[in-house]
Structure 1
Amino acid sequence: MLKKKKILIRIGSLRHGGAEKVLVTFLKNISPDKYEVDLLINLYSGIYIKEVPSWVNVFYLLKGEMITTNRPQDIPVKAYRVLYQKMFLWFPSLLYKFVLKNKQYDVELAAIHGYYREILSSPQKDSKKIIWVQNDIFNLKEYTSDVIRQFFKFDKILVISNKLEEEMHKLAQNEAEKQSVIKIFNPIDKEDTLKKANTAIDDYPFDNNIPTFVSVGTVYPQKGYDRLLQVHKRLLDEGFNHQLVIIGDGYDLNNIQTLLEQLGLQKTAKMLGFKSNPYPYLKKADFYIMSSRHEGFPTIIAEALILNKPISATDISGIKDLLQDGKLGTITPNSEDGIYDGMKKFLTDKDLAEEYKKQINDTDLPFVLEKSVQKLQEIIDEV
C-alpha cells in the first residue's frame, strides 16, 4: 500500500472569502487514500468549518468569532489574540510540539499569501514548502519587492492569474526561481453553484422589471463599494433607471451604509449583509458588477459566469483571464469613470447582455473543478 503524504495546511480562519472557499473545495475533492491532511486554523470560526471533510484533522490556536469592528470593548480581545498568535510565530517549536503533537510533515502549505512567515519559520527543515498566492500582492502596500522575494524560499509558488505569474517572473533572479512559479486556476464547483442558485428566497428586495446589478463581497475598501454607490447615483441623476444589490459584510459596512443614506439611495440600492448562499440573488439580478480596486482571483466572477450573468468588471488581477480578454464580459478601467462606462453600456445597449450570454454559453470554462484539483494534486505529488 502506498504511503500517504502528510500535509500541513495553514490559514487564518474559514470565514466567508474566496481563498477559504477554494481551500475547502479542494479538500472536499482530494483523496483521503493518498493524503493525510492536518489543517491548522489560527481562529476557529467561519461558515466553511462545517464543510471540511471529516477525514481532515483540524487544529486551531483560538476559538471564537472574528472581530470586524473597532469598538473599545473589543480591543483587549483583539490584542490578546494578536499576541497569542505572534508567540507561535516567534517560538514555532512550541506550536509544533504542543499543538501539532510533534507530527512530521512531507509538505507544508500556506493557503494564502499572508501565512508565508508561518510556513517559512517551520522547524521542519526537510518538508517541502508551498505558498498559494490568492490576492494581487503587488497592489498591497506592505508587500514590497523585498517581502515578495521571500516567497522564492518556497519550493513552489502557486499563483492564480497571468498577471501574478508575470510579476513574479520579473522578480525572479534565475531560471529555477521562475520555474517555481506555477499558474493554477482556483477550483470552482459548478454543480454546487447551480444547485445553490436554485434555492428559493423570499427577501429579494426589488421589482424584477427594472434592470438590477448585483455585487457580492466582503465590505472592505478594496471592493470599491464607495465608487459603486457614487456611480449608481450619477446614472440615476442622468435618468438611467436601475437598481443595485450589495451582498456581504465587513469592517467598512457602516461607512458604506452611511454613504448610501447620504446619497439618498435607500429606494434603489440595498445592502443585504452577509448571505451564506448569495447565488439565488445573483441568479435573479440582470447583471454582475465588480467595482474592486484590487483582487487576486475573484471567485465570484467565475461563479457569475457559471450562472451565465453578463459582467462588467474593473481591470484587476485575474479578470482578463476569467473574462478571456473581454470576450465573456466588459473589462473597464479601474476607476469611477470605468465603472460608470461599464454599467451605462448595459443600460443603453440591450443586445450586449445577450451577446455575452451566448459567448459564455458557448465557452468551455477553464476553472472547472476536476482540472484544477488534478493539477494541484500533481504539484503536491511531484514536490
Structure 2
Amino acid sequence: MPQKKKVLIRIGSLRHGGAEKVLVNFLKNLPEDKYEIDLLINLYTGMYIKEVPSWVNLHYLLKGEMITTNKPHEIPVKAFRVLYQKMFLWFPDLLYRFVLKNKKYDVEIAAIHGMYRELLSSPQKDSKKIIWIQNDIFNLKEYTPDVIRQLFKFDRILVISNKLKEEMQKSAKNDEEKRAVIKIFNPIDKDDTIKKANTVIDDYPFSGNLPTFITIGTVYPQKGYDRLLDVHKKLIDEGLKHQIIIIGDGFDFENIQAKLNQLGLQDTVKMLGFRSNPYPYLKKADFYIMSSRHEGFPTIIAEALILNKPIVSTDVSGIKDLLQDGKLGIITPNSEDGIYEGMKKILTHPELADHYQKEIAMTDLPFVLQKSVAQLQEIIDEL
C-alpha cells in the first residue's frame, strides 16, 4: 500500500467566506486513504468548523470569536491575538515543535493568499509549497510588485481566474515560473446548493410580482452596494419599478443602511443581514446583481448559475470565466453607469431573462465539485 502523502493546510479561520467554503468543500471530497491532512487555523471559529471531515487533524493557535469592530474593550484582545500569531511567524520552529508536534510534511498549502509569509517561513525546507490565490491581489495595495515576487518562491501558484493567471504570468521572470501558475476552478457542490435552496422560508421580504434583484455578500466597500443604491434610485425615478434584497453583514452595514434611508428606499430595498442559508432567497428572486468593485472568484455567481438565475455583474476578476464572456449573463463595465445600463437592459427586455436561463440550462458548468477536486489531487500528487 503506497504511503499517504502528509499535507499541512493553513487558513486564518473557518468563518463564512468564499475561500473557507472552498477549502471545506475540497476536504470533504478528498480521499482519506491517499492523504494524511493537518489543517492549522489561526482562530478556531466559524460556521464551517463542524463541516471539516473527522479524519482531518485540526490544529489551532487561538480560540474565540472573530472581532470585526474596534470597540475599546476589544482592542487589547485584538492586540494580544496579533502578537501571538506574529510570534509564530517570527519563531516558526516553536509552531512546528509545539503545535504540530514535529510532524514532517510532503506538501504545505496556504489556502488563502494572506498566509504566504507563514508558509514561506516554514522550517521544513524540503516540503513542496502551494499557495492558493483566492482574490484579485492586483487590486489590493499591500500586494506590491515585491510581494508578488515573493509568491514565486512557491512550487505552485493556484489562481481562480484567467485574468489572475495572465497577471501572474506577466510578473513571472522565466518559463518555469510561468508554468508554476495554474488556474483551478473553485468547486461548487451543486447537489448541496440545490438542496439548501429548497428549504422553506417564511421571511421573504417581498410579496407581489415586481422584478426582484438579489445580492449576497459581506457588506464591505468592495461590494459596491453604495453604487447599487444610487442606480436603484435612478431607475425607480425613471419609472422602472423593481426591488432589491441585500443579504450579508459587515462593517459597512450601518453606512449602507443609512444611505438607503437617506435615499428613501425603505420600501424597495431590504437588508436582511447575515443568513447562513441564503439560497432559498436567491431561488425566489428573479435576478442576481453583482455591483462589486473587485472580487477573486465570486462563488455566489457560480451558485446563482446552478440555480439558473439571470445575472447582471460588473466586470470583476473571474466573471468572464463564469459567465463565459457574456454568453450566460450580462457583464457590465465596472462603474455606476455600467451597473445602471445592465439593470436597465434586463428590466426593459424581459425576454433576455428567458434567453439566459436557456443558455445556462444547456451549459456543462466547469466548476462542479468533481472536476475541481480531481484537478487539485493531480496538482498535489505530481509534486
TM-score by length of 2: 0.99
Name the residue aligned to 1:306. 306
Question: After superposition, what is the alpha-carbon deviation per residue over 1:298-336, rounded to whole angstroms, capped at 9, x for unaligned?
Answer: 000000000000000000100000000000000000001
Task: State the shift of 1:67 in Å.
Answer: 1.1
Name the residue aligned to 2:221. 221
| Structure 2 CA distance for partners of 1:208 and 1:134, relative to 1, 3 Å | farther
Q: How does 1:1-383 map to 2 (within 5 A)?
A: 1-383=1-383
Please give the alpha-carbon distance, in whole angstroms, between the structure 2 residues aligned to 1:95 and 1:225.
41
Unaligned runs of 5+ in 1: none
Question: After superposition, what is the alpha-carbon deviation per residue over 1:81-116, rounded to whole angstroms, capped at 9, x for unaligned?
Answer: 111111111111111111111111110000010000
Please give the alpha-carbon distance, in whole angstroms, between the structure 2 residues aligned to 1:366 and 1:127.
31
Question: After superposition, what is the alpha-carbon deviation per residue over 1:150-203, rounded to whole angstroms, capped at 9, x for unaligned?
Answer: 110000000110000000110000000001001111111000000000000011
Unaligned runs of 5+ in 2: none
Counterpart of 1:267 in 2: which secondary structure?
Answer: coil
Question: After superposition, what is the alpha-carbon deviation per residue over 1:193-247, rounded to whole angstroms, capped at 9, x for unaligned?
Answer: 0000000001110014111000001111111111111111111111111110011
Counterpart of 1:13 in 2: which secondary structure?
Answer: coil
Please give the alpha-carbon distance, in whole angstroms, between the structure 2 residues aligned to 1:208 and 1:183.
43
AA matched with 1:100: L
Please give the alpha-carbon distance, in whole angstroms, between the structure 2 residues aligned to 1:231 and 1:77.
40
AA matched with 1:183: K
Task: State the shift of 1:14 in Å.
Answer: 0.6
Please give the alpha-carbon distance, in whole angstroms, between the structure 1 residues aligned to 2:139 and 2:240.
33
Question: After superposition, what is the alpha-carbon deviation per residue over 1:324-364, rounded to whole angstroms, capped at 9, x for unaligned?
Answer: 00000000000011111111111110101110000000111
Greater Cα shift, 102-111 or 69-78: 69-78
Question: After superposition, what is the alpha-carbon deviation per residue over 1:279-312, rounded to whole angstroms, capped at 9, x for unaligned?
Answer: 0000000000000000111000000000000000
Task: State the shift of 1:2 in Å.
Answer: 1.3
Task: State the shift of 1:131 in Å.
Answer: 0.2
Counterpart of 1:27 in 2: which secondary structure?
Answer: helix
Please give the alpha-carbon distance, in whole angstroms, between the structure 1 residues aligned to 2:232 and 2:43.
37
Please give the alpha-carbon distance, in whole angstroms, between the structure 1 residues aligned to 2:150 and 2:168.
11
Greater Cα shift, 281-290 or 141-150: 141-150
Identity of aligned residues (%): 80
AA matched with 1:169: Q
CA RMSD of aligned residues (A): 0.7
Q: How many residues align?
A: 383
Runs of 4 or more off by more than 3 Å in structure 1?
Answer: none
Task: State the shift of 1:74 in Å.
Answer: 1.5
Please give the alpha-carbon distance, in whole angstroms, between the structure 1 residues aligned to 2:101 and 2:220.
37
